[in-house]
Structure 1
Amino acid sequence: MLIAIVAAAAIGEWTTALVITAFVLAAEILEDLSMDRGRDALTDLMSFLPETVQVRNSGGTAILPLADVAEGDIIVVAPGGRIPVDGTVVVGESTPDQSRITGEPLPVDVTVGDEVFAGSINQVGAVEIRAERVGTDSSYGRIIAAVRHAQSTEPPVQRLADRLAAYLVYLAPIGAAITYLVTRDLTSTIAVVVVAGACGIAAGTPLAVLAAIARIARSGAFVKDGAHLEALSTVDTVIFDKTGTLTTGTPAVVDVRTADGADPDGLLVLAAAAESYSEHPLGQAIVTHARTQGLPVGPCGEFAYLPGRGVTAKVAGKAVAAGNRTLVTDAPEAVDGQGTATAVHVGIDGDYAGTILLADTIRESAQAAVAELHRRGLRTMMITGDQEATANAVAAELGIDDVWAGLLPDEKLAAIDAERAAGCRLAMVGDGVNDAPALARSQVGIAMGSGTDIARESSDVVLISSDLDDIVHTVRVARRARRIVMFNFAGTIAVDLVGMALAAFGMLSPVLAAFIHVGSETAFILNSARLIPGRARRQHR
């Protein structure tokens, strides 16, 4: 543009020089505004937490900077206040809006002992929270740290954009020189220089990357690097771990069957009382289910835990046993676990009384997420250490394409290597320590926010809410960003080549060439700006 302005002035085309200058300045202002909007979408996340907090101490309360809060401090949050730390409620009840973190669209009720997250809004009731994770260790802090890192990195597509922009800059004077040598027309030569440009690529690409990362972060996930965003846009296979990823990882009662048609609640009350001292996950699930149903879980006596078999206890004068067949029954009518369910048989005074079926429940969002991935042309797989029958039952219910079951961590890694050797571009979704090597080996590792620290650290994308719908949204945004960047690439090259040809043949005046240059640049910047998230949260919901 500087060359064009100087050349226009040199031949007395002052109006052309002024128009070019005005157009260029206007385009620069638009570019700055668009980039500022993209950065604002990120800094809006960072500025959400309060700068100061109210901390309870032996003398009452004190106002401290958030940066000075330490683990174990008691934070007082008033109604309408923003929760600044991850922690546990120690005083009070409230209904915080946690949608920025968990993705849950409705406020949730919390009371003493419940966990709350930084970045939530305390809507109703004052609460006191014991700080457990503060600063960059909190859920919201991890989002901020990841966004800052992603903002500072340059993905391969941006490096490609920079190289392509440089080539186009070189192309302009070369095209102008050829035009002058052939036509000896200074006006056409200047028009060739004016119409060519790479601003649509140079400005539109980083804006698209910034905006895409911000949009994903707004929806409850964060991408750690722009390169991972680009890799995610090209994956063709999504591999899931089972336990803790497709399922909740905790057993729950799914059915209660009695031997003589008696009231299932009566059987559940006795079994829950017998299991009340048990630390086994199945026993705890039975107790939790009974309490959730509003049933009384009374005391028991003579409790005994028999490893590998179950428990026995005295409940309301009855001898109750809860466990497997070796402890409780050889009755032919006893129902064993089927599919993903595990059976806990219950005996009363030596007689078989019924069976409680428990299963690791599938996440509510799993089936819809898998179906949506299929609709977008992605293949799905499950790799798990669980037994084949259970894995196949879950896969059949969710519609997953392929299953590798009974795998140790090194075998999961071998499965990833085999799929990559077959030419697949993989995104691996997991939550546990045993998933960490596979997450690191995949093109894109996606960790559940509820998973282990090592899984989150080994991954490229973290789902804060552990909502599998966020995988679909993240892939959708990554693909959309790539389409926008590629469109900008193709559009810029096409405008430059056609415009230079028309200018060389004298069909474009310098002023019209400037208008085409700035107009196309504006269009490509605005095309990237479409990714900038608005103020509403969870836009894909």
Structure 2
Amino acid sequence: GAVLSGNSFVDESRITGESMPVEKIEGAAVFAGSINQSGALEVSAERIGRDTSYGKIIEAVERAERSRAPVQRLADRMAGYLVYFALGSAVLTYLITQNITSTISVIIVAGACGIAAGTPLAILGGIGRSARLGAIIKGGVHLETLGKVDTVVLDKTGTLTFGRPEVQAVVAAADVSAEDLLDAAAAAELRSEHPLGKAIIAHAKAQGRSVAEPEHFAYTPGRGIAAKVADSMILVGNQAWMRDNGVAITAPLNLGVDAASEVYVARGGVLLGAIAVADTVRPEAKRAIESLTALGIRTILLTGDALPVAQAVGRSLGIKEIEAGLLPEDKLARIQALIQQKRTVAMVGDGVNDA
């Protein structure tokens, strides 16, 4: 749909994989299945039900669940033939022995129950074992194919990363302590619903800092916050917000974090420093990628997030093939193209968009 009025931040990670909430203003497009994070929005629905991106994802999942493993289809065919064999053997046994007990024994021994029931039970057992280990396999066909996989396609948000913004670096300007910078930023953000602000407050509390209550608070969409704390005016926002308020950034601050959101902080018109906020890579992700590479399996990163963010994550994990800015249907098209190249592909993700 489209935003008719209002301003807010929306979590689109279920649909696009974008790790950071996206700001929505009047005229902006909104995906069905998005989660509103802060303010109020009036949205005109342009598509409903199966016509939405979310609906297409659900439809794809339902199609996948209806598929049967090749070994299951083979077992069903064999069971059908075995029924005729068992009945024929039983008739022949009765004609020769005239013994009803022997005839029933032949039917029991030659029956198709073992084949018909054994294959689904084995598949269910494998899927159940995988689930206990934290891997959800969507059907028998995928379990059977897993042993032949030569290409693994990975989502980023929530799979290789935790999927939530966290403070990565606090860099203070000259003659300013990191504690003073963090205290000022947290106090200004205390009444904010912005996801970056929440990350800063959480970091300050985790560091054991007490967060002061602002006396005045004002938020400018797309720019930042102006808050009065202990008779001092504190500004928190992007570089444009600093320039708009006459705060000079005379020397670049080396935050040392690739593709992070840079939050600048000033007090009384003087720059205090900057805070880098970004999604955090899971510590076990690098080990997993190294294991796949050692097995000779090709790894590809497909994400809806921005290219600089995807490249930063990919480089840190040793993934060479990276595509960003993709919707779920784009990811599906890429995977189908790999399959047409005779690759056996496994998709690793965490959300309904990846399903």
* Alignment TM-score, normalising by the size of structure 1: 0.44
CA contact (8 A) 2:161 2:280 kept: yes
Q: Residues of 2 paired with 1:280 and 1:423: CA distance?
A: 46
Verify: 1:331 aligned to 2:250, yes or no: yes
Name the residue aligned to 1:65.
none
Match of 2:57 in 1: none
- 2:131 counterpart (217, 220, 234): 217
CA distance in 2, matches of 1:320, 1:277: 13
How far has the Cα of 1:352 moved from its partner?
Answer: 1.0
Secondary structure (helix, strand or coil) at the match of 1:243 reads coil
Match of 1:231 among 131, 136, 145: 145
CA distance in 1, matches of 2:121, 2:222: 59
Return the match for 1:371 from 276, 290, 303: 290
Per-residue deviation at 1:248?
A: 1.7
Report deviation, 1:206.
4.8
- Within the alignment, does 1:404 sit opposite 2:323 as a pair? yes
Kindly report which structure 2 residues correspond to 1:272-351, keeping only aligned pairs within 5 A, or say none: 272-328=186-242, 329-335=248-254, 338-351=257-270
| Contact 2:123 2:140 (C-alpha < 8 Å) held by counterparts | yes
| Match of residue 358 from structure 1 | 277
On the 8 A contact 1:336/1:342 being kept in 2, the answer is no
1:529-540 paired onto structure 2 within 5 Å: none
Q: What is residue 491 of structure 1 aligned with on the other side?
A: none
Change (3 A) 1:167 1:376: farther
In the TM superposition, what is the alpha-carbon distance from 1:334 to its structure 2 partner?
3.0
Q: 1:226 to 1:407 in 2, by over 3 A?
A: closer
1:395 aligns with 2:302: no
Task: State how far apart, in whole Å, the 1-side matches of 2:259 and 2:336 are.
Answer: 28
The answer to whether residue 162 in structure 2 is matched with residue 243 in structure 1 is no
The one-letter code sitting in structure 2 at the alignment partner of 1:373 is: L
Question: What is the identity, as a one-letter code, of the residue corresponding to 1:396?
Answer: R
Question: How far apart, in 2, do the equivalents of 1:210 and 1:389 lie?
Answer: 41
1:274 is paired with a residue whose SS is: helix
Deviation for aligned residue 1:381: 0.7
Q: Distance in 2 between matches of 1:153 and 1:247?
A: 30
Which of 288, 300, 303 is the equivalent residue of 1:384? 303
Instruction: Give the alignment partner of residue 333 of structure 2, picking from 414, 439, 461.
Output: 414
TM-score (norm 2): 0.65
Gaps of 5+ in 2: 1-64, 86-109, 243-247
Preserved CA contact (<8 Å) 2:300 2:321: yes
Task: State the alpha-carbon separation in 1 of the partners of residues 250 and 266 from structure 2.
Answer: 11
Q: Deviations over 1:5-48 (max 9, x none)?
A: xxxxxxxxxxxxxxxxxxxxxxxxxxxxxxxxxxxxxxxxxxxx
Distance 1:333 1:226 in 2: 55
- Assess, with a 3 A threshold, how the Cα gap between structure 1 residues 307 and 402 changes in structure 2: closer, same or farther: same
2:340 counterpart of 1:426: no
Q: Cα–Cα, structure 1 residues 210 and 410, in superposed 2: closer, same or farther, change >3 Å?
A: closer
Q: Rate the CA distance shift 1:263–1:232 in 2: closer, same or farther, 3 A.
A: same
Q: CA deviation at 1:400?
A: 1.6
What is the alpha-carbon distance in structure 1 between the residues aligned to residue 227 and residue 295 of structure 2?
54
Q: CA deviation at 1:338?
A: 4.2
Letter of the structure 1 residue corresponding to residue 206 of structure 2: T
Shift of 1:312: 1.2
Separation in 1, partners of 2:221, 2:70: 56
Distance 1:385 1:159, change over 3 A: closer
Number of equivalenced pairs: 264
Is contact 1:391-1:403 (8 Å) kept?
yes
Amino acid at match of 1:269: D
Q: Is the 8 A contact 2:168 2:257 kept in 1?
A: no
SS state at 2:152 partner = strand
Q: Which whole-Å deviations, capped at 9, do the CAs of 1:188-207 have from their partners, x for residues lacking one?
A: xxxxxxxxx999x9486555
Counterpart in 1 of 2:3?
A: none
Higher helix share: 1
Q: 1:258 aligns with which of 166, 172, 177?
A: 172
CA contact (8 A) 1:344 1:355 kept: yes
Deviations for 1:173-197, whole angstroms, at most 9, x for unmatched residues? xxxxxxxxxxxxxxxxxxxxxxxx9
Once residues 157 and 272 of structure 1 are traced to their aligned partners in structure 2, the CA distance between those partners, rounded to angstroms, is 58
Q: Contact conserved, 1:161 with 1:205, CA < 8 A, in 2?
A: yes
Identical columns (%) = 47
Shift of 1:159: 3.4
- Following superposition, the deviation at residue 409 of structure 1 comes to 4.1
Matched residues in 2 for 1:401 and 1:332: separation?
34
SS of 1:359 mapped into structure 2: strand
How far apart are 1:422 and its partner, in Å? 2.0
Give the Cα separation in 2 of the matches to 1:320 and 1:235: 54
CA distance in 2, matches of 1:383, 1:220: 22
Gap regions ≥5 residues in structure 1: 1-149, 172-196, 431-447, 460-541
> Take 2:76 and 2:159, find their aligned partners in 1: how far apart are those partners?
39
Structure 1 vs Structure 2 CA RMSD: 3.3
